């Protein structure tokens, strides 16, 4: 009952399902508000991302900027980063539940919240979820970035692309690696597989720590002809 991911949330069937299974807060089991599996109290506890560096979304103190020191010294390969949340409670719990316990309902909730706060003044031509290596995909059964991108694509009307980019080399988990090691770890991990890279692309990822993974993808996209590459992350660590 937890994950009815294949059933459309719209239309008559959606209305029937909502009547049969009214929204329940995924964090505290209280009744959800509107169509969301989130209660108003828990919504108020979400660690919304505030002011950050427009290039890399490192948190900046109010009034500081425009760019953070790191981006001034060494501009990242992408043009902008938009973060929805800080990687903090209770969003961290929702993300680990999705990734390591297969709670796809968490992706639906987080993706819906993301869609209502997405930066759409200059919408990208394409949403590109960070791919998993086929081996990892087999283990996990789904790609969390793709699951988060689905509601975004549907609500914003921006196409979702999963065949353009492939992870061709398995990488060690980035956790515990330092900046330089992380960059080395993801080098040559991705390849443009087929198709044309549009001018304006948004890379979709669940958590951004140093930005080395999305940086490597942005480099590939630019080399293949993209003019503007944004990074949209659900949570910034
Ligand atoms: Zn709640
Ligand atoms: Zn920065």
- Per-residue pLDDT of 103-162, as tens digits, reads 999 999 999 999 999 988 899 999 999 999 889 999 999 999 999 999 999 999 999 988
Domain spans of the chain?
1-45, 47-236
Residue 5 clears pLDDT 50, i.e. is over it: no
> What's the sign of the alpha-carbon dihedral 232, 57, 137, 166?
positive
Instruction: Please give the distance, rounded to the nearest whole angstrom, from the Cα atom of residue 55 to the centre of ligand 2.
Output: 5
**Torsions phi, psi for 190 (to 5 deg):** -120, 155
**Nearest CA among 108, 155, 111, 152 for reference residue 2:** 108
Q: HSE of 87 in the Cβ direction (CA atoms, 13 Å)?
A: 14
Residue 10 clears pLDDT 70, i.e. is over it: no
pLDDT of residue 59: 86
Domain covering 47-236, topology: Rossmann fold (3.40.50)
Task: Give residue-wise pLDDT tens across range 37-79.
Answer: 999 999 999 999 988 999 999 988 888 878 999 999 999 999 9
Identify each DSSP E strand in 132-182 by its residue range.
Answer: 165-167
Q: Could you tell me if 85 and 235 are in contact, meaning their C-beta atoms sit under 8 angstroms apart?
A: yes
Nearest ligand to the CA of 43 is 1
Q: Could you tell me if 234 and 92 are in contact, meaning their C-beta atoms sit under 8 angstroms apart?
A: no
Residue 198 DSSP class: P
**Torsions phi, psi for 54 (to 5 deg):** -65, -20
Identify each DSSP E strand in the chain by its residue range.
Answer: 80-86, 126-129, 165-167, 190-192, 200-208, 228-236
Q: Could you tell me if 153 and 127 are in contact, meaning their C-beta atoms sit under 8 angstroms apart?
A: yes
pLDDT of residue 6: 45
Instruction: Please give the distance, rounded to the nearest whole angstrom, from the Cα atom of residue 190 to the centre of ligand 2.
Output: 23
Q: Omega of the bond prior to 73 within 30 degrees of 0, cis?
A: no
Nearest ligand to the CA of 39 is 1
Instruction: Please give the distance, rounded to the nearest whole angstrom, from the Cα atom of residue 14 to the centre of ligand 1.
Output: 22
**Nearest CA among 103, 108, 98, 86 for reference residue 18:** 108
Instruction: Please give the distance, rounded to the nearest whole angstrom, from the Cα atom of residue 179 to the centre of ligand 2.
Output: 14
Instruction: Please give the distance, rounded to the nearest whole angstrom, from the Cα atom of residue 57 to the centre of ligand 2.
Output: 6
Over the chain, what is the mean pLDDT? 89
Confidence of residue 3 (pLDDT cuts 50, 70, 90): very low
Nearest ligand to the CA of 24 is 1
Confidence of residue 174 (pLDDT cuts 50, 70, 90): low
């Amino acid at each position: 009952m937890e994950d009815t991911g294949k059933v459309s949330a719209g239309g008559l069937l959606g209305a029937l399902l909502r009547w049969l299974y009214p929204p329940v807060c995924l964090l505290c089991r209280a009744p959800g508000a509107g169509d969301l599996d989130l209660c108003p109290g828990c919504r108020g506890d979400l660690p919304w991302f505030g002011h950050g560096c427009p290039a890399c979304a490192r948190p900046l103190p109010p009034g500081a900027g425009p760019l953070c020191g790191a981006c001034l010294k060494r501009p990242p390969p992408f043009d902008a980063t938009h973060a929805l949340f800080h990687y903090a409670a209770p969003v961290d719990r929702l993300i680990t539940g999705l990734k390591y316990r297969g709670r796809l309902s968490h992706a639906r909730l987080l993706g819906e919240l993301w869609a209502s706060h997405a930066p759409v003044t200059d919408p990208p031509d394409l949403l590109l979820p960070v791919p998993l290596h086929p081996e990892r995909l087999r283990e996990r059964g789904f790609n969390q970035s793709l699951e988060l991108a689905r509601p975004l694509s549907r609500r914003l009307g921006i196409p979702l692309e999963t065949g353009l980019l492939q992870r061709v080399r398995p990488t060690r988990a980035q956790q515990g690696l330092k900046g330089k090691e992380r960059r080395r770890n993801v080098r040559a991990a991705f390849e443009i597989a087929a198709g044309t890279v549009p001018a304006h692309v948004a890379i979709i990822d669940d958590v951004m720590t140093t930005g080395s993974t999305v940086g490597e993808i942005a480099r590939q996209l630019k080399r293949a002809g993209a003019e503007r590459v944004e990074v949209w992350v659900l949570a910034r660590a």
